Structure 1
């Protein structure tokens, strides 16, 4: 079996989350207006948003942290293709307890768990406390974090990820309060739309679904089909219309 026999991974995604081109552009424009010189992307994946920030802020340099070597390799290739290899570094390391700050701007979209104790339940308050000393006075943090659009029912929770419960997330107001208590002011509050969610969820599985249709008898087909079907079911029968993603642009106080 060769590498080309394997199902593709995330090739149809631009960003690793429910984020549209339009929202990303506005977010980057606001971030670039603060004229950051240094940018840190926590849980960067292949660093698409990080590289766009560097393109919008030509004097800036950036570091992307992630523990997925495949995503980081993809980011390095993209950086070479876009002439950014001398301005961005992709590093395979944990973000918890990182000493790579303080910096002028931080991206942490859907990755705050990287700042938390893996032995404990995910705690956005702890992640915000970790973020606060990593950003310089006058800097910006763009945080992408889950929240409950409404309280999930027991049936919806049963359809989500294993062990899902109502304490896994806060409502939006509670999440913003945590940011304020951690020493930030919320300069901009926005949330992913239904269309952004559907684009992300479909693109997340698109290439693999095509592969499964073309290779129904492949040795890895049954395993891959079970995984993809579980993922899709968790969305459609579980967190669709219930789980939201907030994009908070935060400014440190004092």
Structure 2
């Protein structure tokens, strides 16, 4: 690395979300029973690490990941090739809105419900659940990772979050589960990321860039990058840490 090198991007992240190795392994085991999925669709897949691990654990299954970030898709393709999965998975650059992919036995939507519709929060959750109901095959499963409020945020916390943050932006967990039921699912498993998983995710999200900033404080991109990461850290620590949760809902479509 030298003074002309741009700051690295997300190299410390395994999963693009607050998800521990232990929880990921448990969910993958659970999603393989009682019926082993033959097809997997990953909405807003990024580099699709969870999907790749699931395919490794499910011989013969095939997967499709869709996203709009070509850098992430390229990372997914490279990882698939390195792990001998290139013939069983496709990473496709396309919008998830009204996608023609699917139906699939297992649909993953981990922190990406916003990709399924143009609706604004909180209506985007209802719209996403309807889309997921269409995309999952009969007898299949949906694994939805969706934000919710652990508690009602204070005005001060909201002001520290993203622009125009509102207490009406997300649901609380019981209401989120009710929305899934209203969309035609039964919740087979309900769990949520814990604070350690959030702290690991947020730290890894910025760790490589923080070290780059320490090494290259005079880089032409340093001022802009420093402003971006300082703003993100403040939003996390002063705004949504311990306030915004992420639920992992394993949903079964009602026949």
Scaled by the length of structure 1, the TM-score of the pair is 0.97
**Contact preservation (8 Å) 2:148, 2:173:** yes
Deviation track 1:44-93 (CA, whole Å, cap 9, x = no partner) reads: 00010010111111110000000000000000000000000000000000
Q: In structure 2, what is the Cα distance between the partners aligned to 1:139 and 1:3?
A: 50
- Following superposition, the deviation at residue 155 of structure 1 comes to 0.4
SS at the partner of 2:168?
helix
The root-mean-square deviation of aligned C-alpha atoms, in Å, is: 1.4
Where do residues 171-250 of structure 1 align in structure 2 (5 Å cutoff)?
A: 171-250=172-251
Q: In structure 2, what is the Cα distance between the partners aligned to 1:4 and 1:208?
A: 15
Q: In structure 1, what is the Cα distance between the partners aligned to 2:170 and 2:151?
A: 10
Deviation track 1:201-222 (CA, whole Å, cap 9, x = no partner) reads: 0000000000000000000000
Where do residues 8-19 of structure 1 align in structure 2 (5 Å cutoff)?
A: 8-19=8-19
**Contact preservation (8 Å) 2:3, 2:219:** no
Deviation track 1:178-200 (CA, whole Å, cap 9, x = no partner) reads: 00000000000000000000000
Alignment correspondent of 2:134: 133
SS at the partner of 1:167?
coil
SS at the partner of 2:17?
coil
SS at the partner of 2:32?
helix
SS at the partner of 2:18?
coil
Alignment correspondent of 1:76: 77
Q: Given the alignment of the two structures, is residue 41 of structure 1 paired with residue 47 of structure 2, yes or no?
A: no
Where do residues 156-175 of structure 1 align in structure 2 (5 Å cutoff)?
A: 156-175=157-176
- Following superposition, the deviation at residue 121 of structure 1 comes to 3.6
Stretches of 4+ aligned residues off by more than 4 angstroms: 1-4
Q: In structure 2, what is the Cα distance between the partners aligned to 1:174 and 1:3?
A: 50
Where do residues 61-100 of structure 1 align in structure 2 (5 Å cutoff)?
A: 61-100=62-101
Scaled by the length of structure 2, the TM-score of the pair is 0.97
Q: In structure 2, what is the Cα distance between the partners aligned to 1:100 and 1:92?
A: 12
Moved more, 90-99 or 27-36: 27-36
Contiguous gaps of at least 5 residues in structure 1: none
Q: In structure 2, what is the Cα distance between the partners aligned to 1:4 and 1:251?
A: 50
**Contact preservation (8 Å) 2:13, 2:204:** yes
